[in-house]
Amino acid sequence: MKVTIIAVGTKMPAWVEAGCGEYIKRLPRDYNLRFVEIPVGARAKNPDIQRAKQSEADAILAAIPKGDWVVALDVAGKIWSTEQLAGHLDSWRMSGNDLCILIGGPDGYAPSVLARANQRWSMSHLTLPHPLVRIVLAEQLYRAHTILHNHPYHK
């Protein structure tokens, strides 16, 4: 199963690349986890937030691989435990579809992105910085994998 994480924001600090890289390296090759970065929509002194969100939405929608199951990380989404995530990961793998997870921009998603999502997931009630979300997401995918394979990492 290919896992594509589409994230709004480019030029992440080295610690983000290193953190994500660590969990990508730990996952088996059949997960084929990769990040696709989308530029943040232009925001100036008096930004047109809707235009910026639409710019991000156009790029996100264009980057979603055809046929993928799409999960949007969204504050209004459902909160899952790690065990629930493992159950979803198992279901996604068994469905035969590849997985695409979306990390939105600073002002959230345009409605067209949420309409494309098959599921909406809130990682936490906390507000997390987007670079950190990338690492936490990669780690949680790895942890969910270890649960499914009875690996001691989760304990």
* Interval 41-75: pLDDT, tens: 888 777 788 999 999 999 999 999 999 999 999 99
Report whether 104 belongs to an annotated binding site: yes
> What CATH number is given to the structural domain containing 105?
3.40.1280.10
Report whether 94 belongs to an annotated binding site: no
Number of structural domains found in the chain: 1
Q: What is the pLDDT of residues 70-91, one digit of tens each?
A: 999 999 999 999 999 999 999 9
Surface-to-core class of residue 138, CB atoms within 10 Å of its CB (0-12 exposed, 13-18 middle, 19+ buried): buried
Residue 143 lies in a domain: yes
pTM above 0.85, yes or no: yes
Structure tokens, 52: 């910026």
Residue 155 lies in a domain: no
Report whether 82 belongs to an annotated binding site: no
Residue 92 lies in a domain: yes
Structure tokens, 72: 């949007």
For residues 12-18, average pLDDT = 97
Domain with 41, as residue range(s), is 3-149
Residue 45 lies in a domain: yes
Report whether 1 belongs to an annotated binding site: no
Residue 116 lies in a domain: yes
Residue 132 lies in a domain: yes
Bridge partners (DSSP) of residue 145 are none
Cα 29 to Cα 33, 77, 104, 107: the distances in Å are 8, 29, 26, 34
**pLDDT higher than 90, residue 17:** yes
Residue 154 lies in a domain: no
Report whether 85 belongs to an annotated binding site: no
